[in-house]
Amino acid sequence: MAVSPVQVGKEATGEWMFSSSCSHLCVCLGLPEQTEPPLNTPENREYLAEIMFETFNVPGLYIAVQAVLALAASWTSRQVGQRTLTGIVIDSGDGVTHAIPVAEGYVIGSCIKHIPIAGRDITFFIQQLLRDREAGIPPEQSLETAKAIKERYCYICPDIVREFAKYDSDPGKWIKQFQGINAVTKTPFHIDVGYERFLGPEIFFHPEFSNPDFMQSISDVIDEVIQSCPIDVRRPLYKNIVLSGGSTMFRDFGRRLQRDLKRTADARLRLSEELSGGRIKPKPMEVQVVTHHMQRYAVWFGGSMLASTPEFFQVCHSKKDYDEIGPSICRHNPVFGIMS
Amino acid sequence: MPAYHSSLMVPETRLVGNMALLPVKTQFKGPARGDGVDSDIIDEAIYYFKANVFFKNYEIKNEADRTLIYVTLYISECLKKLQKCSSRSQGEKEMYTLGITNFPIPGEPGFPLNAMYAKPGNKQEDETMRAYLQQLRQETGLRLCDRVFDPQTDKPSKVSLILMIYLNFLSGVKGYLIKYMTQSAAAVAVKIVKFSRCQRKVF
């Protein structure tokens, strides 16, 4: 199918989207588990159920929210005793980045924020930087070249001015060579990769580099999201910030986020202590960003993890129920996964 | 999102207009004294230049920032000229000519950022500002030649060429939108209101 499923933020009904996302689920699990974006309507779920049961004839179905699955996937990086379905999920793919707070397995829908910076913007920014400087890239391949450079050489730095100084003092160590092949003439071309290595992903933290309308850094957005959530859930949210999606795979992304958020939280606590004249002494905020090696496919991995538990069979909707009652059984999917 | 600001502001700095008259390590004559400072405003401007060109908004925190901005904008002018120079001696000559050119000062119609800079109050301040800015320009031009030209080959080094390309991101020097922030009575009042809300915000 020509349209890429990842371009659609919300799943639209249609059979084309399932071929890529559910076929491997069907094969691995026997019983498919489908995913949905957080603010999906119950009618959409009914359509989904209809298509799955009628067209694909699945024996059972469970529709899970992507953010909850990403949280489940993060359990691979911690001990069994600490499993929790409360946390904020930063899902960054190719099209858009979401910050989704989840409390006890239920998404706090009114506090979700979208950030218009994602993988595609980074690629475009790198393409612009390269276009002015390197003459060797064939024009029709410039976007793919930028993408390859982004995936291979980019990382997140703690401070851009210091990185500039590092690159200037020792160019041989930091500036890399990239070799590509011209698709038409099959001759190789070489380019230097310099400042783009850290400037590309930096647009997460300084969006104004590439987007004139959006100025807020991703750490500020996350902070805002947590502050807009109910007060009793804020500390657990700070403690469990989970990354998912391909664009969070940059080296040190988690560390930089953690550092920025810790600074903001500490500054706020210090301000409250100051303004109260020393009477209020708040407990220091524990900020933790969780990264793990399945981050790129975190949603899928979480789904397959949860679907392989015995509890799954109790919560998924069976074909028998569908035949008897109809698609409305799939409107509500109960949360499961925290085993005692 | 913050761009990089100057850290050289001290309360006893002389002000000319509303720019800080900071000391500069220079041989050129002018109001600024070069009294043994390790890193002066020109070093700062050059160090932060590469990062600052990407920012579309810049918040002026103090008067030293205004001096920093002036030097940054002048660096971009220099680089445009240096792009065409093929050797260090030619570069130095161009920089000297550019330095003594009569650029408009704050208050004059040709100055691009008149909204953020104050006009000099009297004739004497006018003279001081002109002399100081000329001194800054000449010293900046000289230091840039050191950075841009490779000492062995006497040609602009590739790394500095990369730097020049980033001038595109300045998107017209006059497009630099600058926000002026000040600790006014309004800001203090906001803090008081925030405190009463803050008591409920503490976790």
Residue ranges with strand state E in B95-166: none
**What token pair was written down for B52?**
């600052």
**Nearest-by-CA chain A residue for B48:** A161
Give A208 to chain B, closest Cα distance, Å.
6
Q: What is the pTM of this model?
A: 0.80
Give B133 to chain A, closest Cα distance, Å.
26
Domains of chain B, residue spans: 15-172
Partner residue opposite B51 with nearest CB, options A133, A160, A216: A160
Question: Chain B within 8 Å of A229 (Cβ-Cβ)?
Answer: no
Residue A259: per-residue pLDDT = 95
Question: Chain B within 8 Å of A53 (Cβ-Cβ)?
Answer: no
Distance CA A256, CA B17 (A): 40
Residue B1: per-residue pLDDT = 37
Domain B15-172, CATH class in plain words: mainly alpha
Partner residue opposite A132 with nearest CB, options B56, B168, B203: B168
Contact A280 B199 (CB under 8 A): yes
Residues 6+ apart with CB under 8 A from B54: A199, A206, A208, A209, B166, B169
Q: Which CATH number fits domain A119-203: 3.30.420.40, 3.90.640.10, 3.50.50.60, 2.30.110.20?
A: 3.90.640.10
Mutation target for B interface from A202, A209, A220, A226: give the one with most B CBs within 10 A. A209
Partner residue opposite A164 with nearest CB, options B51, B168, B201: B51
Residues of A in Cβ contact (< 8 Å) with B162: 133, 194-195
For residue B178, give the 3-state DSSP assignment. strand
Q: Please state which CATH number belongs to domain A68-116+215-295.
A: 3.30.420.40
**Within this chain, domains A7-64+309-330 and A68-116+215-295 share the same CATH topology:** yes
For residue A103, give the 3-state DSSP assignment. strand
> What letter would DSSP give residue A113?
E
Partner residue opposite B56 with nearest CB, options A161, A208, A283: A208
Residues of A in Cβ contact (< 8 Å) with B50: 160-161, 164, 195
Residues of B in Cβ contact (< 8 Å) with A270: none
Residues 168-187 of B with CB under 8 A from A: 168
Residues 6+ apart with CB under 8 A from A35: A21, A63, A64, A65, A66, A69, A299, A303
Question: Chain A within 8 Å of B193 (Cβ-Cβ)?
Answer: no
Query: How many residues does this entry show for chain A?
Result: 340
Give B203 to chain A, closest Cα distance, Å.
7
Query: How many residues does this entry show for chain B?
Result: 203
Partner residue opposite A215 with nearest CB, options B47, B57, B202: B57
Residue B24: per-residue pLDDT = 80
Contact A161 B51 (CB under 8 A): yes
Check: CB of residue B95 under 8 Å from CB of residue B101: no
**Paired strand residues for A35:** A64
Distance CA A310, CA A308 (A): 7
Check: CB of residue A45 under 8 Å from CB of residue A18: no
Residues of A in Cβ contact (< 8 Å) with B159: 167-168, 171, 194
Question: Chain B within 8 Å of A181 (Cβ-Cβ)?
Answer: no
What is the full per-residue pLDDT of chain A (340 aa) written as tens digits? 233 333 333 333 333 333 333 322 322 223 466 777 777 888 888 998 899 899 998 888 888 888 999 999 999 887 666 788 999 999 998 999 999 999 999 999 899 999 999 999 999 999 988 887 777 788 888 999 999 999 999 999 999 888 988 988 888 889 888 888 888 888 888 888 888 899 999 999 999 888 888 889 999 999 999 999 999 999 999 999 999 999 999 999 999 999 999 999 999 999 999 999 888 889 999 999 999 888 999 999 998 888 888 888 888 899 999 999 999 998 888 888 765 4
Residue B184: per-residue pLDDT = 33
Q: Which CATH number fits domain A7-64+309-330: 3.30.1490.190, 3.40.630.10, 3.40.50.880, 3.30.420.40?
A: 3.30.420.40
Residue A129: per-residue pLDDT = 87
Residue B35: per-residue pLDDT = 64
Partner residue opposite A217 with nearest CB, options B1, B195, B199: B1
**What token pair was written down for A222?**
């996350």
Contact B203 A132 (CB under 8 A): no
Domains of chain A, residue spans: 7-64+309-330, 68-116+215-295, 119-203
pLDDT beneath 70, residues of chain B: 1-3, 34-37, 150-203
Partner residue opposite A272 with nearest CB, options B1, B162, B198: B198
